[in-house]
């Protein structure tokens, strides 16, 4: 109930286009206290004091006992309605998603597995071949089937091309050293 009242109070203060909200607070509270509540069939001020509060406009009697001009009233009401503009909505809960720039050209991707997994199971599966791509989705080949996945579940896979083998790599990468610095030469069938 308190949160609902605070929401009503804040909305009423915002309706007064005043930079100093403390100046409009007494009028807002007066309006809330004299508002008629249908479930109680009275206002909250009537419950406290036993009779309705006199509003500032009720202190003065109209100069002439005649009716007010309704066309002037409706013209003023239309003018006030024209000046009303909605406030811009804030977007506090739209986090930015990181997207790899290499996804635009990647031939293969890793797919994040969102299901519950064991402690030693990898977070990503793959690499999977990219069949087609859109702004927000990719079609990949997963277990022999074409599957559409969201772009926020994938990351690019960097794979050596087929013609690149250990023989084509520089000689430095084929040398293995022990902790003490000695060079070790493995037979071809033990090489990784």
Residue 129 belongs to domain with CATH number: 2.30.30.140
Q: What is the DSSP letter of 189?
A: G
The domain of 149 spans: 97-159
% of residues, the chain, pLDDT over 90: 14
102 in the same domain as 54: no
* CA dist., res. 124 & res. 126, Å (int): 7
CB atoms within 10 A of CB 15: 12
Query: Looking at the predicted structure, is the pLDDT value of residue 71 above 90?
Result: no
> Total structural domains in the chain?
2
Inside any domain, residue 185:
no
Query: Looking at the predicted structure, is the pLDDT value of residue 123 above 70?
Result: yes
Inside any domain, residue 7:
yes
- What DSSP element (H or E) covers 11? helix 2-15
Query: Looking at the predicted structure, is the pLDDT value of residue 118 above 70?
Result: yes
* CA dist., res. 24 & res. 14, Å (int): 9
Inside any domain, residue 129:
yes
Inside any domain, residue 38:
yes
Inside any domain, residue 170:
no
Q: What is the DSSP letter of 166?
A: T
Inside any domain, residue 31:
yes
* CA dist., res. 165 & res. 155, Å (int): 24
Inside any domain, residue 123:
yes
Predicted pLDDT at 61: 59
Predicted pLDDT at 90: 64
Among candidate residues 39, 58, 77, the one where a domain is terminated = 58
Higher per-residue confidence, 128 vs 15: 128
**What are 18-65's pLDDT values in tens digits?**
777 777 788 888 888 888 888 878 888 888 877 777 776 665 555 555
Inside any domain, residue 147:
yes
Q: At what angle do helices 2-15 and 21-34 cross, to 10 degrees?
A: 120
Mean pLDDT, all residues of the chain: 77
* CA dist., res. 91 & res. 50, Å (int): 46
Q: What is the mean pLDDT of residues 157-184?
A: 66
């Amino acid at each position: 109930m308190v949160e609902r009242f605070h929401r009503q109070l804040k909305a009423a203060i915002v309706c007064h286009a005043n930079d100093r909200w403390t100046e409009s607070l007494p009028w807002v509270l007066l309006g809330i206290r004299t508002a008629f509540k249908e479930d109680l069939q009275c206002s909250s001020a009537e419950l406290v004091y036993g009779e309705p509060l006199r509003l500032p406009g009720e202190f003065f009697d109209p100069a002439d006992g005649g009716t007010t001009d309704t066309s002037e009233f409706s013209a003023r009401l239309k003018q006030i309605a024209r000046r009303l503009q909605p406030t811009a909505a804030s977007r506090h809960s739209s986090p930015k998603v990181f997207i790899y720039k290499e996804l635009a050209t990647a031939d293969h991707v890793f797919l994040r597995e969102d299901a519950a997994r064991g402690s030693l199971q990898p977070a990503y599966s793959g690499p999977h071949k990219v069949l087609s791509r859109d702004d927000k989705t990719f079609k990949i080949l997963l277990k022999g089937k074409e599957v559409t996945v969201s772009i926020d579940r994938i990351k690019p896979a960097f794979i050596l091309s087929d013609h690149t083998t250990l023989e084509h790599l520089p000689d430095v990468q084929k040398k293995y050293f022990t902790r003490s610095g000695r060079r070790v030469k493995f037979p071809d069938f033990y090489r990784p």
